[in-house]
C-alpha cells in the first residue's frame, strides 16, 4: 500500500502511518516496560549494578569518560535541530522522574544485551577481545534499534521536523546514535562502570523530556493512526 507523508504543524507524521499506531495508555506501557527492564537488567548485570566503580574508572580511564561525555553532548545538537516539542509545556516533575528511572533501568538492559552477546561470542571464538567487543556492541545496537522502532516510536508523539532542508541531517541521526553507543561501550569495556553510562543515558533522556516534552508519564493519550 502506498504511503504518503502527512505533515502537521511542520512535523513528519510518516512513522505513525498504517499498522503502527501510537500506544494509547502510556503510563501502563511504561510501567510494564520498566518492570521488564529491571528484571532483565538485574538478571544480566547484577554484579555491575551492585558495584560502585565510578571513582576507580575515572581515575584510570577519565579520558574515556570525557570522550563519551563530549560525544553524547555533541550528538544532542543535531537531534535538537531536527526535533521539536511542538508547543507542548514542560512537565518538570514527571520529566525528572522519567529521566532518573528510565535513564537507569533502560541502560541496564542496553548493557545487559552487550554483556550477553559479548559472553556468548566467547563460547564460539574464545577470548578474542575485538571479536567479543563487536558482538557485544551489536547486542547493544540491536536492542536499542528494536525498542526504539517498536516501542518508543509508538509512545512518543511525532517530533521530527518535516523541513526538507533538515532531512539530510535527519538521515544522519542513526549514525550519530551509533557513535554514542560505540563511545559508551568502549568505556564500559575497559571499566565495567555501569553508573557512568547510566548518567550519560539519563542526559540523552533529559534532552528528550525537556526539549521534545512527550506526554509519556502521568498522562493518557488516545491517538488514532494517521491514515
Burial class (CB in 10 A: 0-12, 13-18, 19+), 148: middle
Assign 25 a pLDDT band (cuts: 50, 70, 90).
low
At 12 the pLDDT is 59
Assign 182 a pLDDT band (cuts: 50, 70, 90).
very high
Closest CA to 79 of 209, 198, 222: 209
At 218 the pLDDT is 74
Mean of pLDDT values over 199-207: 98
At 24 the pLDDT is 60
Question: pLDDT at residue 23 above 80?
Answer: no
At 136 the pLDDT is 98
Encode pLDDT of 80-105 as tens digits: 999 999 889 999 999 999 999 999 99
Pairing of strands 7-8, 11-12: antiparallel
Encode pLDDT of 108-151 as tens digits: 999 999 999 999 999 999 999 999 999 999 999 999 999 999 99
Handedness of CA 106, 112, 118, 124 (dihedral sign): negative
Mean of pLDDT values over 57-73: 98
* 23: its cell numbers: 500506544
At 22 the pLDDT is 62
Assign 226 a pLDDT band (cuts: 50, 70, 90).
very low
DSSP 7: E
DSSP 23: P
At 62 the pLDDT is 97
* 141: its cell numbers: 545496537
Whole-angstrom Cα distance, residue 194 to residue 103?
12
Amino acid at each position: 500500500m502506498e504511503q504518503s507523508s502527512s505533515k502537521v504543524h511542520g512535523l513528519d507524521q510518516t512513522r505513525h502511518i498504517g499498522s503502527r499506531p501510537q500506544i494509547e495508555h502510556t503510563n501502563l506501557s511504561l510501567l510494564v516496560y520498566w518492570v521488564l527492564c529491571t528484571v532483565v537488567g538485574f538478571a544480566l548485570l547484577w554484579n555491575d549494578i551492585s558495584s560502585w566503580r565510578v571513582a576507580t574508572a575515572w581515575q584510570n580511564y577519565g579520558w574515556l569518560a570525557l570522550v563519551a561525555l563530549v560525544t553524547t553532548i555533541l550528538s544532542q545538537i543535531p537531534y535538537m535541530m531536527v526535533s521539536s516539542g511542538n508547543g507542548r509545556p514542560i512537565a518538570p516533575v514527571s520529566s525528572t522522574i522519567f529521566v532518573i528511572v528510565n535513564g537507569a533501568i533502560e541502560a541496564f538492559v542496553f548493557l545487559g544485551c552487550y554483556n550477553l552477546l559479548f559472553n556468548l561470542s566467547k563460547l564460539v571464538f574464545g577470548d578474542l577481545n575485538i571479536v567479543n567487543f563487536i558482538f557485544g556492541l551489536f547486542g547493544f545496537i540491536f536492542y536499542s534499534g528494536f525498542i526504539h522502532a517498536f516501542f518508543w516510536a509508538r509512545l512518543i508523539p511525532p517530533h521530527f521536523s518535516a523541513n526538507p532542508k533538515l532531512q539530510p541531517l535527519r538521515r544522519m541521526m542513526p549514525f550519530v546514535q551509533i557513535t554514542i553507543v560505540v563511545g559508551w561501550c568502549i568505556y564500559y569495556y575497559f571499566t565495567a562502570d555501569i553508573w557512568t553510562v547510566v548518567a550519560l543515558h539519563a542526559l540523552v533522556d533529559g534532552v528528550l523530556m525537556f526539549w521534545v516534552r512527550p506526554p509519556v508519564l502521568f498522562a493518557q493519550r488516545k491517538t488514532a493512526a494517521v491514515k
